[in-house]
Structure 1
Amino acid sequence: MIRIGIVGTSSISHRFAEAVAQVEGVLVSRVASRDGGRARSFAEAIGAPGTAIGLAELLAADDVDAVYVASPNSAHAAQIAQAVDAGIPVLVEKPAVLSAADWDAAVARARDRGVVLLEAMRTAYDPGLAVIEAVLPRLGTVRRVSFRYEKRSARYDHVLAGEQTNIFDPALGGSALRDLGVYPLHALVRLFGAPRTVQAVRVGIASATDGLGSALAAYDGFVADVAWSKITDTALPSEIQGEEGSLSIDAIDAPRRLVLTPRGGEAEVIVVEAPANPMVGEVVRLRDAIAGADIASDQHLTAVTLRLVDDLLAAPLV
């Protein structure tokens, strides 16, 4: 049994705990927070037996075999290093770190010490992406890809009220690109590899980071546009257009309903069977990685995605 300690008490940690409960061979043993009362309250809510005040205490516990890091983005790199140096496998919430260089350094550190390090990027392990990959040959030569993740955050209201909040605070690594844009970018890289070039426009908000943006990526023979937003909603699907058909995708972060329309033919609906909690796949991957599965390709996908994020963050806010 792999006993996991959770770092952070946000809603994403709660969903992670729910995913762990659905996977054999793993359980949540402790919750860590700088606030002992908050750690106890969260542990009680998810049914975890133990708590820890801070990461050091969590890593020293004799009932923690791995950690899930869901702290603010800016804290990830230091916490990864601390856990890796303690010999504890790490699953770190996306974005894993704030730059591709930071990720390369973290991976090198983990490999030197023989410690598992994975990014908790759910698109990497979602069955919907595998179905899309299997369907691609039916589209013929791909010419256009349009991926999007646009969902207004309730916390944007805090920004509008003149307050700062973690996910929109650049000092903590917050931005719409890092929070939501990474999903379509990661899916793009997984399905088609790294683009030749990429350009972006980012719309700034009062917290001094991007609230939404768009990117245009060039590949050999086709183009891809990526849209992200945490300040607006959309009813538009993602789409892949080929010379022999198109594929509509309901949600690129967790595809569940695909519509394949052949050129001159009738549309075919493809329903993807998947766990209700989309984080189950990353928990399974962590378990398998600790058991010895090769994760070099996982780490490479994270590296390529973060290099794209680096490039897009260089675009000025408008």
Structure 2
Amino acid sequence: MIRFGIVGTSSISERFAGAVRQVAGAGVSRVSSRDAERARSFADRIGAPGVAVGLDDLLAAPDVDAVYLASPNSAHAAQIASAVDAGIPVLVEKPAVLTAAEWDAAVARARDRGVVLLEAMRTAYDPGLAAVRAALGDLGPVRRVSLRYEKRSARYDEVLAGRQTNILDPEMGGGALRDLGVYPLHALVRLFGAPRAVQGVRVGIASETDGLGSALATYDGFVADVAWSKITDTSLPSEIQGEEGSLLIDAIDAPRRLVVTPRGGVPRVITVPADDNPMVGEVRRFVDAVAGADIDEDQRATATTLGLVDALLDRPLA
């Protein structure tokens, strides 16, 4: 049994706790917050027996075998280092860290100490992405890929009202690219590997980070465009076009309905069965990793995705 200590008391931590309950060999033993009352309230809500005040307290707890980090993005690198140095396996919410260099350093540190470090990128372990990969064989040579994750956030209303919020605060490592754009970018990397080049545009908002953006990635023989937004919604699906057919994907972060249309043929609908909690797959993968599964490919995919993020952040906001 892997007993998780959870760092953070946001809604994503609550969803994570629900996912853990669905995975054999995993449980939640403690919740950590700098505010003891907040930690106790959250622990009661998710059914965790213990609390910790701060990360050091959590890492020293005898009933914590691994930690799940759902703190502000800017805190991840230092918290990973502390956990790894304590010999505690780490599952860290995406984006794992802010830059590819930070990730490379974190992975090297974890390997040196023999500690598991995995990014909680749920899309990578979603059965829908496996279904997309399987359907690619029906398309012939791929020529164009269009992936998008655009969902207006209620937090944007806070920005419009003149208030700062972590998820859109550049000082906290926030912004639409790091919060939502990483999903289609990571899916792109998992499906097709690293592009030869990437360029893009990010549109700034009042909080001085990006509210939306687009990227164009170049591969040998095809191009991929990626769109993300936290200030607008879309009804458009993602799409992959090949010389022999096309594939529509309802939601690239968690594909549930795919439509394969052969060239000149009849569309075929693929419905993807999945867990009701999309974080179950990442928990299973982490449990397997702690048991000895090889996660080199997972860590490389995170590094490649963060490299793309680095390149896109290198340009000023529009």
**TM-score category, normalised to shorter length:** over 0.9
Question: 1:236-247 to 2 correspondence within 5 Å?
Answer: 236-247=236-247
Normalised TM-score (structure 1): 1.00
Partner of 1:80: 80
Question: Which 4+ residue blocks in structure 1 deviate beyond 4 angstroms?
Answer: none
Show the counterpart of 1:137.
137
The CA distance in 2 between the partners of 1:189 and 1:2, in whole Å, is: 30
Residue pairs, 1:101-250, within 5 angstroms: 101-250=101-250
- Secondary structure class of the residue paired with 1:32: strand
Instruction: Specify the SS of the correspondent of 1:276.
Output: coil
| SS class of match (2:48) | coil
**TM-score under structure 2 length normalisation:** 1.00
1:13 aligns with 2:13: yes
Aligned counterpart, 2:48: 48
Query: How far apart in 2 are the matches of 1:31 and 1:59?
Result: 11
Q: Deviations over 1:80-102 (max 9, x none)?
A: 00000000000000000000000
Which SS does the other structure have where 2:101 is aligned? helix
CA–CA distance in structure 1, aligned partners of residues 287 and 134 of structure 2: 25
Amino acid paired to 1:16: F
SS of the residue corresponding to residue 62 of structure 1 reads coil
SS in 2 for 1:164: coil
Structure 2 unmatched ranges of 5 or more: none
Partner AA of 1:149 in structure 2:
Y
* Identity fraction in percent: 80
Letter in 2 for 1:21: R
SS of 2:52's partner is strand
The answer for the alignment partner of 2:275 in structure 1 is: 275
Equivalent pairs, count: 318
User: Displacement of 1:46 after TM fit?
Assistant: 0.2
- How far apart are residue 315 of structure 1 and its match? 1.8
Cα shift at 1:137: 1.2
SS in 1 for 2:265: coil
Once the two structures are TM-superposed, the CA of residue 316 in structure 1 deviates from its matched residue by: 1.4
Q: Distance in 1 between matches of 2:114 and 2:42?
A: 31
* TM-superposed deviation, 1:186: 0.2
Please, what is the CA RMSD of the aligned residues? 0.4
> Per-residue deviation at 1:216?
0.4
TM superposition shift of 1:109: 0.1
Tell me by how many angstroms 1:214 deviates: 0.2
Secondary structure of 1:198's counterpart equals strand
Q: Secondary structure at the match of 1:211?
A: strand
Q: CA deviation at 1:208?
A: 0.2
Q: Does 1:303 align with 2:310?
A: no
> Counterpart of 1:287 in 2: which secondary structure?
helix
- Map of 1:294 onto structure 2: 294
Once residues 178 and 230 of structure 1 are traced to their aligned partners in structure 2, the CA distance between those partners, rounded to angstroms, is 11
The aligned counterpart of 1:257 is 257
CA distance, structure 2, for counterparts of residue 296 and residue 198 of structure 1 = 24
